[in-house]
Amino acid sequence: MENDWKFDRPPSALELVQNNVFSNFLRTALHVIVRLSFLCYHRFQTVHPERLEGIQSKIIAANHSSHLDVLALFSAFPLKDINRIRTFAAKDYFFKNPFLRCVGFFFANVIPIDRQGWSAESLSYAGRALAEGGIFIIFPEGTRSVDGEIHSFRPGIGMLALHYGVAMVPVYIDGTFSCQKKGDCFPKPHKIRIIVGTPIDFSHLENNRQSWETITSALELRIKNLKEEIKHV
């Protein structure tokens, strides 16, 4: 397992194509359009946007209740950082459909993973990106909430934090469930807000299952607290 976390493997074809000049230009152009639509259609707002300014080598952990969550998080970052942001997505969902594959590939810098486990290639790509100052978006619940509530986080988020040795930034996303919950085809014109928490450094913990669970519980509590905080903003 230790070798799976080393990122001295050569870059994969996916990694090379996702990060060339054409892909970066296309991704930036698409996100300009999305930002405009979010501002006009969803009255998008970021609370504490300064906490995302200039961050490097961080994992963004957020609640998940809609496909719009990824777009909201991308839209919260300065446009200049778009090509440094990546996210994991289930290979059996996003890569079996040609349209979703193109969206994930060009738009969201998706790294495909198997639901049963992490491939050495995906871990290598992620590790190299983080080492170069990249930012990762992860949804610790593992799937979209069907009722809009925050559900139990999976301990894999703690494992990633300690294996990669990077700080976690907790984020709560509000409004996306009302816009487009699981099963909805088109988003409704509802306000979307996100609130950004302060980074949490877990590097003092030992890399074992107990620490993974400690990190998972701490992140879940922090994001639930952000949910309460945004109600008063």
Residues in the chain: 233
pLDDT in tens, 114-147: 766 666 777 777 788 888 888 999 999 988 999 9
Q: How far apart are CA 124 and CA 80, in angstroms?
A: 24
For residue 232, count other CB atoms closer than 10 A to its CB: 5
Q: How far apart are CA 20 and CA 9, in angstroms?
A: 19
pLDDT in tens, 77-98: 999 999 999 888 777 766 777 7
pLDDT in tens, 212-225: 999 999 999 999 99
Instruction: Tell me the helices (H) and strands (E) count for the chain, helix number first.
Output: 9, 7
Structure confidence at residue 63 (pLDDT): 97
DSSP 182: T
Contacts of residue 92, defined as CB under 8 A and 6 or more positions apart, other chains included, come to 114, 115
Structure confidence at residue 54 (pLDDT): 84
DSSP 90: E
Mean pLDDT for the chain overall: 86
Q: Map out the domains of the chain as residue ranges.
A: 2-230
Residue with the two structure tokens 């994991």: 88
Q: How far apart are CA 58 and CA 131, in angstroms?
A: 10
Contacts of residue 32, defined as CB under 8 A and 6 or more positions apart, other chains included, come to 79
Structure confidence at residue 39 (pLDDT): 96
Structure confidence at residue 40 (pLDDT): 96
Q: How far apart are CA 230 and CA 233, in angstroms?
A: 5
Q: C-alpha angle 50/179/64, rounded to 5°?
A: 60
Q: pTM score, two decimals?
A: 0.88
Structure confidence at residue 3 (pLDDT): 37
CATH assignment of 2-230, given 3.10.129.10, 3.40.1130.10, 3.40.630.30, 2.60.40.290? 3.40.1130.10
Which has more pLDDT, 171 or 113? 171
Q: How far apart are CA 205 and CA 136, in angstroms?
A: 21
| In contact, 111 and 126? CB cutoff 8 Å | yes
| In contact, 66 and 176? CB cutoff 8 Å | yes
